[in-house]
């Protein structure tokens, strides 16, 4: 459950998010749409603790991201809007880095990495640096980095951008499967 309670954020004099409120119940998939510059990414940055909140509060499974950030961060995995991160790491190193942060046991993570890499068809590229990846391949590596941790809440900012149709379909199926678990 994500609970956004009357949240506002300004950059200087510009109000990027103005008194937004909505809830995402557990077991649901909710899309968050709006024109470019509407404040979607800014809202995600506040949800995930990357940006401070000017007014209001955000609870992730009942945990306040501003008051208890470490505990709240354990609840979600994030796919940011740009996959151009950690480019000097190989995909496997990046995914392991994410799994380290979430303290995922070695054998469990290896099993998940094997399965996800096979599902998203990047098995043969896992040991190549992300800098050598195409946009869609980077996107897949970032998605695997989030899913390998099996977070309760998935927060995805434009996750389909750059994915081939098969991978986009697969991600949609994985989202449905996860929502059904509640």
Residues that bind ligand ATP (CB under 6 A): 11, 14, 16, 34, 36-42
CA 132 to chain centroid: 22
Contact positions with Mg ion (CB under 5 A) in 18-47: 40-41
Q: 71: alpha, beta or left, given left = phi > 0 and alpha = psi -120 to 50?
A: alpha
As beta bridge partners, residue 17 has 9
The three-class DSSP label of residue 5 is strand
The DSSP code for 121 is T
Closest separation between CB of residue 68 and ligand ATP, Å?
24
CB of residue 54 vs ligand ATP: minimum separation in angstroms?
A: 12
167 binds Mg ion (CB under 5 A): no
Least separation, in Å, of the C-beta of 151 and Mg ion? 20
Task: CB nearer to Mg ion: give 148 or 171.
Answer: 171
Looking at the Cβ atoms of 24 and 38, the one nearer to ligand ATP is 38
DSSP-derived secondary structure for 93-115: HHHHHHHHHTT--HHHHHHHHHH
Q: What share of the chain is helix, strand, coil (3-state, %, to 5)?
A: 40, 20, 40
**Residue 129 CB, nearest distance to Mg ion (Å)?**
26
Q: Which is nearer to ligand ATP, 36 or 180 (CB)?
A: 36
Q: Rule CB under 5 A: is residue 48 a binding residue for Mg ion?
A: no
d(CA 59, CA 151): 16
Between 39 and 145, name the residue whose CB sits nearer to ligand ATP: 39
Binding site for Mg ion (CB under 5 A): 40-41
């Amino acid at each position: 459950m994500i609970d956004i309670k009357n949240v506002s954020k300004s950059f200087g004099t510009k109000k990027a998010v103005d008194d937004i409120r909505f809830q995402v119940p557990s077991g649901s998939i909710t899309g968050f749409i709006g024109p470019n510059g509407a404040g979607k990414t800014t809202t995600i940055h506040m949800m995930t603790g990357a940006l401070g909140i000017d007014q209001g509060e955000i609870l992730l499974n009942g945990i306040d991201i501003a008051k208890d950030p470490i505990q709240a961060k354990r609840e979600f995995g994030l796919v940011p809007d740009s996959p151009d991160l950690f480019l000097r790491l190989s995909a496997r190193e990046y995914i392991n880095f994410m799994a380290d942060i979430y303290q995922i046991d070695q054998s469990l993570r290896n099993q998940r990495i094997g399965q996800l890499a096979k599902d998203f068809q990047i098995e043969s590229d896992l040991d190549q640096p992300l800098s050598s990846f195409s946009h869609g391949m980077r996107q897949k590596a970032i998605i695997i980095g989030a899913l390998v941790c099996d977070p309760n809440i998935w927060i995805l900012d434009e996750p389909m951008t750059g994915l081939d149709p098969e991978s986009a379909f697969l991600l949609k199926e994985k989202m449905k499967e996860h929502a059904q678990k509640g």
